[in-house]
């Protein structure tokens, strides 16, 4: 599925790296690395998206721009973003199931600007996000799939029923098999729900590795934690699409290998089995 020529494409090449000369917000520098500018800017982007969704005007391009604006504010908040493997999205027909490790809010906000410019996409999210006002309007607008994260069997049934229906519309589905955000990567926590969905729907799977702990998880508001200045380099990498063969065990292992190797190369901790 090719993207329209008019679609906003913030990352047109295979790779992207933040310009080292990108300035930080002046007020944040004055206040010794505080997020005085960052947090209001991010909230403003979310509220703008919510307003569009409530009016029924939230489009694929809206999703790309919200995502891009988030990454823009990360860069001007001091983060440095590095992306590789975008050609795997651009040069292959979708839709796909994309499976990724999960560290912070940044990948949830960041993936759409990378994926959506080539393949319309959505997420598997916690059901409560769909039922809430505010951000729930956006999740419903993109046809996100809600799961309980309390009953694994029920969640698998939901994904295997709703997932193929969404994929049949041409939308790529982004899955975080670890379910919750993790500071380390563990193959044991990385379940095979993505492979099962791709096999059921007859689509290819793409592994994605991320390291985004610059944007920390908060104690009170989980989405707005502190910045980790030792981890200001934020990484996203996409692998080649894989066709599911047999029961998918080989492809699942390849996804785990791809994420483990990239995560470790960026200084992340991969737990031993």
State pLDDT tens for residues 85-106. Answer: 999 999 999 899 999 999 998 9
For 39-96, the DSSP string reads HHHHHHHHHHHHHHHHTT---HHHHHHHHHHHHHHHHHTT-EEEEE-THHHHTS---E
Q: What is the mean pLDDT of residues 64-84?
A: 94
| 6 located within any domain | no
State how many domains the chain has.
1
Q: In this predicted structure, which of 26-40, 45-59, 100-114 has the lowest mean pLDDT? A: 26-40
Q: In this predicted structure, which of 4-13, 55-64, 256-265 has the lowest mean pLDDT? A: 4-13
| 11 located within any domain | no
Q: What is the mean pLDDT of residues 68-92?
A: 94
Greatest alpha-carbon span in the chain: 58
Q: What is the pLDDT of residue 149?
A: 82
| 79 located within any domain | yes
CA distance 257 to 218: 29
Q: Would the pLDDT of 31 be above 70?
A: no
Percent of residues, the chain, with pLDDT higher than 90 = 70
| 147 located within any domain | yes
| 70 located within any domain | yes
Domain span at residue 93 reads 16-265
| 59 located within any domain | yes
Q: Would the pLDDT of 157 be above 70?
A: yes
| pLDDT band at residue 1 under the 50/70/90 scheme | very low
Q: Would the pLDDT of 179 be above 90?
A: no
Q: What is the mean pLDDT of residues 6-32?
A: 85
| Burial class of residue 248, CB neighbours in 10 A (0-12, 13-18, 19+) | buried
Return the CATH number at 174: 3.40.1130
| 65 located within any domain | yes
| 138 located within any domain | yes
Give the tokens for residue 15: 């790779």
**Chain CA centroid to CA 134, Å:** 19
Reference 140, options 49, 45, 66; nearest CA is: 49
């Amino acid at each position: 599925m090719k993207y329209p020529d008019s679609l906003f494409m913030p990352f047109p090449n295979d790779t992207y790296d933040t310009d080292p000369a990108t300035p930080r917000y002046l007020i944040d520098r004055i206040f010794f690395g505080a997020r005085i500018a960052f947090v209001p800017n991010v909230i403003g982007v979310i509220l703008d998206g919510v307003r569009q969704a409530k009016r029924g005007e939230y489009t694929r391009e809206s999703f790309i721009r919200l995502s891009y604006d988030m990454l823009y504010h990360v860069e001007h908040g001091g983060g440095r973003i590095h992306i590789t493997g975008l050609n795997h999205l651009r040069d292959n027909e979708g839709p796909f199931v994309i499976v990724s490790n999960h560290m912070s809010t940044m990948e949830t906000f960041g993936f759409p600007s990378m994926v959506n410019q080539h393949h319309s996409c959505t997420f598997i999210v916690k059901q409560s996000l769909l039922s809430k006002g505010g951000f729930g309007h956006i999740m419903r607008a993109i046809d996100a799939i809600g799961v309980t994260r309390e009953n694994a069997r029920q969640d698998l049934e939901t994904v295997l029923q709703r997932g193929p229906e969404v994929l049949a519309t041409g939308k790529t589905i982004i899955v975080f098999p670890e379910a919750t955000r993790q500071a380390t990567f563990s193959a044991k926590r990385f379940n095979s729900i993505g492979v099962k969905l791709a096999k059921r729907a007859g689509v290819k799977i793409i592994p994605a590795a991320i390291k985004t702990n610059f944007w920390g998880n908060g104690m009170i508001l989980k989405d707005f934690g502190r910045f980790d200045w030792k981890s200001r380099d934020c990484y996203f990498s996409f692998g080649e699409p894989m066709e599911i063969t047999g029961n998918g065990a080989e492809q699942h292992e390849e996804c785990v290998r791809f994420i483990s190797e990239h995560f470790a190369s960026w200084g992340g901790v991969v737990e031993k089995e």
